[in-house]
Chain A
Amino acid sequence: MFSPKEYQDIEDKVRSGIRLSREDGIRLFHCTNLAWLGMLADYARQRMCGDIVYYNVNCHVNLTNICTSRCKFCAFGRDADDAGAFAMTKEQAVALVRDAMRDPHMAGLHVVSGLHPTWTFDHYLDILRTLHETFPTLYIKGFTGVEITHFVEISGLSLREVLQKLKDAGLQAIAGGGAEILSDRIRGELCPKKATADEWLEVARTAHSLGIKSNASMLYGHIETLEERVDHLLRLRELQDETHGFQTFICFPFLPKHTELGKTVRQTSAWDDLRTMAISRLMLDNFRNIKAYWVMLTVPVAQIALGFGANDIDGTIHKETILHDAGATSPRALQEDTIIRIIREAGRIPAACDCNFNILHVFDGSEEERNVVNGN
């Protein structure tokens, strides 16, 4: 049976700001005292970034679900001739964003798509440039390390050139997806057709060197061991030591519905999700932000996750598609006032931010806040 004394050394380390080891991380995954784990992660969160919780008023743009990778954990990807396959035209993408722009607080886009078999890199660039030029006030975060590795393959350009072109076309930050578990054992089994662990990390490293920030993520709860989760966090921590270019870390619990892998793997429990969130905060001592992604966690669990190390709750989204294909039961979008309310109720200060965590509005009860709420 668990006694908190067993973990006193870890608590001491965290409270003195000493980095946790791989072994500490593995031990934490065997701790059954969830509230203690939360408290410790909450302490680390408070010390790292205070009481502000970031969110964004954003719109997800998934240009196509046609994908050559067809990862076993994905319910979104399709072959070109499958029922439900879609590939947006430039005009359709613009129309989607125009619709989202009816929200006067709309601040930015999250553009993530399948690896389309026939689209050229120039085609992606053209859509990106069009979105940027049509909606110059919106920030654009988009393309994962996997997509960018794909662009290198199809364009014949170097990674650095691809990133520079994306930046020039209007890309302001790179999305955190596609990291899955940064282990070639796992990737070989689940997603052999896409970027390897090293390739994914190399995209982040190169982007950071060009001044493009990126996010990081972990897709867990499938075939990985707890040790592999810890090793994944360590690889991200190492690169962050080197570049300091990661902005936020997102825990993605695997959603099994309608995926090939889902035939044999069950969805993670909320207990697992919260301990993984807390341990991520504790291990990633050089990441400022940890995201509680409400789409996967569900809104009530995402709110509680704010007590387990998270200081970022993602955004309004406008219309989520990828994870709802995998059976997500959360709403497809959240109202901004709902986000503000759940953050406040957790005793924290809501702040709308852009994709680089620049604060657009702080909701701290000031005059400015009332103006924003009233739409002035």
Chain B
Amino acid sequence: MRLTPKEGTNLLLHGDLLAMGREADAIRRKKFGNTTTFIIDRNINYTNVCVNECRFCAFFRRQGHKDAYLLSEEEILDKVRETVEAGGTQVMIQGGLYPHLPLSYYEHMLTSIKANFPSMTIHSFTATEILHFAREAGISVLETLKRLQAAGLDSLPGGGAEILVDEVRQRVSPKKISAEGWLEVMACAHSIGMKTTATMVIGLGETMAQRIEHMEKVRRLQDETGGFRAFITWTFQPGHTQLGGEKTSGWDYMRTLAMTRLYMDNIDHIQGSWVTQGERIGQLTLGFGADDLGSIMLEENVVRAAGTAYDMSIQKMVRMIQGAGRDAAQRDTTYAILKRF
């Protein structure tokens, strides 16, 4: 039986962490047995210039700021080459919302990556960026996505969802894509066979009911399209941001993570976030419903700038998974297993 929003909210408010964890773990075990996956990829943050200036972001710079940058095509290709050499199978190209770049700029970026590295999966651009590209080009989101897909874009990461409730978004990132806008980009992508992931950022001052509203919106869209591969919960990193505030506690994060496994009954993969939580809490997610630990990232400027500097090698990742009594496996973007350890 599917959890209702009311039941979900109630569990987030009053549920027993261990009971929820045990239930979430049972579902995880039924779906994936003893296998826990990860991917080797690289984040390429092609620019830190952003017109949005979200209050929870420590990464963006205004155009003209001394630290502002826009990577050249050569620099981007170098980073992709290094990814291939490091055994990576995916690049996640994301950037700020750079003003006045034509869509052809991004198309060209994609085609040149695919021309040089045909086996590389391009899992790139958040919904916020897609909407920005469409506006700058004066065409629809669907048209934008079709053109990017034709140029080589394989799938979309689920970032930028934050909490899909406009009351929260108005407070923390008023200039950013609306809740409806985010869902619309995802729906358009799914309609042309482009898969995506979904994310949620907690600790933005949202209520438990608003977290559930977020999950409910994603679950409903998934019922229609089936296009979400994974659901990932991050915590807001208050260091060096305007929004500031207390960091989400381990208890809250873990209970919410278990909740996503229980609530998102139509999304296969629940990813534990060692990037925002550190290795120790990251490993514990494997006991509370997570079947995947995401990426061994070769670069993650966004997270690093907010004061969470974690770096993890394959060996460390495998040890962390095995330490939880699981079998570690490297996957690709589609969650197909590439290698077992």
| Residues of A in contact with B (beta carbons under 8 Å apart) | 1-2, 32-36, 38-39, 42, 266, 269-272, 274, 298-301, 303-304, 306-308, 341-342, 345-347
Contacts and interface: CB of A to CB of B under 8 A. Distances in A.
Given A33-B25, A271-B283, A304-B250, 18 more contacts: A1-B29, A32-B324, A34-B284, A34-B287, A34-B288, A38-B21, A39-B22, A42-B18, A270-B280, A270-B281, A271-B323, A298-B280, A300-B278, A300-B280, A301-B250, A301-B284, A303-B249, A306-B251
18 contacts: A1-B34, A33-B22, A34-B287, A35-B21, A35-B25, A39-B18, A270-B283, A271-B286, A271-B287, A271-B323, A298-B278, A298-B280, A300-B280, A304-B281, A307-B251, A346-B17, A346-B251, A347-B14
Contacts of B33: 1
Interface of B: 14, 17-19, 21-22, 24-25, 29, 33-34, 249-254, 277-281, 283-284, 286-288, 319-320, 323-326
Q: Of residues B277, B287, B319, which shows the largest number of chain A Cβ atoms within 10 Å of its Cβ? A: B287
SS class, residues of chain A in contact with chain B: helix
B53 to A, nearest CB: 30
Contacts of B286: 34, 271
Contacts of B29: 1-2
Given A270-B284, A271-B323, A307-B17, A36 B249 contact: no
Contacts, number: 94
Given A271-B283, A298-B280, A36 B250 contact: no
Contacts of A307: 17-18, 251
Nearest to B325: A32
A205 to B, nearest CB: 36
A60 to B, nearest CB: 23
A36 B283 contact: no
Given A269-B320, A272-B323, A299 B250 contact: yes
Nearest to B248: A300
Nearest to B281: A300
Q: Of residues B14, B251, B326, which shows the largest number of chain A Cβ atoms within 10 Å of its Cβ? A: B251
B280 A35 contact: no
Contacts of B252: 345
Nearest to A41: B18
Contacts of B281: 270, 300-301, 304
Nearest to A32: B325
Contacts of A341: 249
A346 B250 CA distance: 10
B283 A269 contact: yes
Contacts of A304: 17, 250-251, 254, 281, 284
B253 to A, nearest CB: 8
B249 A342 contact: yes
A163 B283 CA distance: 44
Contacts of B325: 2, 32, 271
A269 B22 contact: no
Contact of B249 (A2, A38, A345): A345
Nearest to B327: A1
Nearest to A40: B18
Given A35-B288, A271-B323, A300 B250 contact: yes
A341 B252 CA distance: 12
A270 B283 CA distance: 7
Contacts of A308: 18
A214 to B, nearest CB: 30
A347 to B, nearest CB: 8
A-B pairs with the 4 shortest C-beta distances? Answer: A300-B250, A32-B325, A34-B287, A35-B21
Given A35-B288, A270-B284, A271-B324, A345 B25 contact: no
Contacts of A33: 22, 25, 287
A34 B277 contact: no
A298 B325 CA distance: 22
A1 B35 CA distance: 11
Nearest to B322: A269
Nearest to A301: B280
B39 to A, nearest CB: 21
B82 to A, nearest CB: 28
Q: Of residues A1, A272, A304, which shows the largest number of chain B Cβ atoms within 10 Å of its Cβ? A: A304
A38 B20 CA distance: 11
A345 B284 contact: no
B202 to A, nearest CB: 13
A3 to B, nearest CB: 9
A36 B22 contact: yes
B22 A35 contact: yes
A269 B21 contact: no
